[in-house]
Chain A
Amino acid sequence: MRRLIVSGAIALAALVTGAGAVAIAAGTEAHPPKRSWHFQGPFGTYDRAAAQRGYQVYAEVCAACHSLSLLAYRNLMELGLTDNQVKGLIKDIVVPDLNDDGQPIERPARLSDSFRKPFPNVAAAAAANNGKAPPDLSVIVKAREGGADYIYALLTGYVPFDKLSPEQVKEFSVKKDDNFNTYFPGHKIAMTPPLADDKVTYADGTKATLGQEASDVTEFLAWASEPWMEDRKRTGVRVILFLLALAGLMYAVKRQVWSNKH
């Protein structure tokens, strides 16, 4: 048995070495720097104020091109807003619908409506954006390697053409009108730099720097990707504590039962 444990340790060591090799092999692109997020760790929660500011950034900037189709306006109440506050936020938003005669109309959005899509379909979105449809942002934080760190790095990772070194221009054949982003795979990204200092004016008086906007909208998108995360972690703590207690009792029972056989 002891031998077996030793061999298990050897197998595990092989596994860890292998994992190290994987990390080295993947090291060709710029990795987004690790940032600390309010929602990290086993007890992390979403920063409601940041996520609310992030919604403002989404609504005033991103929503012009990016849909958020898996969310409904009612979901905003989970960010700590009352239904009247949300109704206030969406009072100017209209969504497509059909009237009683089956004709397409636009009507004011209700809480139960999904977020308004900026384009009626993917083809229209691509046509309006030089052939590349802006991705839906509903699960974007889960859909990208690096998650929130990557989204933040991307939003703040633009380098203006005149700041690029001649080697970079040559290596990635960057032209004057291209958008160069340090963290985007291949560096040339269709999206023009979306955020800048004072792109929005925050209602709570927070200074709207580029970094602040990026961090807020990332917090909002992280929430949008997994609004149930806090419930998941809370349930997890309870389940683990319960199972530990049960394991302790089971072990005691097992020892009692086996006490005459060892």
Chain B
Amino acid sequence: MASSSVPADGHGDPTRRDFLMVATGALGAVGAAAVAWPFINNLNPAADTLALASIEVNVTPIEVGQAITVKWRGKPVFIRHRTEKDIKEAEAVPMSELPDPQTDNSRVTDTAKKVRPEWLIMIGVCTHLGCVPLGNLPGQDKGPYGGWYCPCHGSAYDTSGRIRKGPAPLNLAIPQYLFLSDSLVRIG
């Protein structure tokens, strides 16, 4: 308010009074900010949600050439047990043909830097507009590159999950994962 700059009628030492006012106002502002935090923090992921932030998957039952879909953080994750042919095809593609150049090796390395070309683990969400591509289940259209094919707008991915054709700008994302043993992988 404009006229609040005019000192209110009252006696006392104006300096002391100003100091008191400023100190009280400052403390009040600190308090208001401290009160605001729990209200904001309340909307952050809860402990039970965070507890599911990583999952452990046993990959032994997945035969060569098969793939499974697991749910992780509310999204599908594709785990494909690739054949020798899949791997060879993926490694043979020249970088110049890729809209989002990445080597196949870099896409099959876990957080301990161990490369396991037979296991391709990706988030199954098309990088175009978030649809789930086809090709993970037997009998589904794997698209022209033998990988995955997004039915929404026709993006096609190769056997390394890299974008080859269509509107999607990026390769299918690789989550952080770690093989705890040859059969058990932790995602997240």
Residues of A whose CB lies within 8 Å of any CB of B are 72, 74, 100, 110-112, 242-243, 245-246, 249-250, 252-253, 256-260
Binds A, one of B6-14, B125-133, B143-151: B6-14
Set A72, A110, A252: member contacting B56, Cβ < 8 A: A110
A246→B8 contact, CB < 8 A? no
Interface hub of B28, B51, B68 (most chain A Cβ within 10 A): B51
Q: Give the shortest distance, in Å, between B16 (CB) and chain A (any CB).
A: 8
Residue-wise, chain B 21-61 has the 8 Å CB interface mask toward A (1 for contact) of 10110011001001000000000000110011000100000
A112→B17 contact, CB < 8 A? no
Assess A249 versus B24: contact at CB under 8 Å? Given A74-B51, A111-B51, A112-B52. Answer: yes
Set B11, B34, B48, B68: member contacting A260, Cβ < 8 A: B11
B20 interface contact, C-beta 8 A: yes
User: How far, in angstroms, from A225 to B4 measured CA to CA in the complex?
Assistant: 51
Q: Report the nearest A residue to B23, measured CB to CB.
A: A249
Contacts of B56 in A (CB 8 A): 110
Assess A253 versus B51: contact at CB under 8 Å? Given A246-B27, A246-B28, A259-B11. Answer: no
User: How far, in angstroms, from A250 to B20 measured CA to CA in the complex?
Assistant: 9
Set B21, B31, B47, B48: member contacting A253, Cβ < 8 A: B21
Closest 4 CB pairs of A and B: A112-B51, A249-B24, A260-B11, A256-B17
Assess A249 versus B12: contact at CB under 8 Å? Given A112-B52, A256-B20. Answer: no
B24→A253 contact, CB < 8 A? yes
Contacts of B9 in A (CB 8 A): 260
Q: Give the shortest distance, in Å, between B9 (CB) and chain A (any CB).
A: 7
User: How far, in angstroms, from A122 to B31 measured CA to CA in the complex?
Assistant: 47
User: How far, in angstroms, from A252 to B16 measured CA to CA in the complex?
Assistant: 10
Interface hub of B8, B9, B47 (most chain A Cβ within 10 A): B47
Report 26 cross-chain contacts, Cβ distance below 8 Å, ordered by A residue.
A72-B48, A74-B47, A100-B68, A110-B56, A111-B51, A112-B48, A242-B27, A242-B31, A242-B34, A245-B27, A246-B24, A246-B27, A246-B28, A249-B24, A249-B27, A250-B24, A252-B20, A253-B20, A253-B24, A257-B8, A258-B10, A259-B10, A259-B12, A260-B9, A260-B10, A260-B12
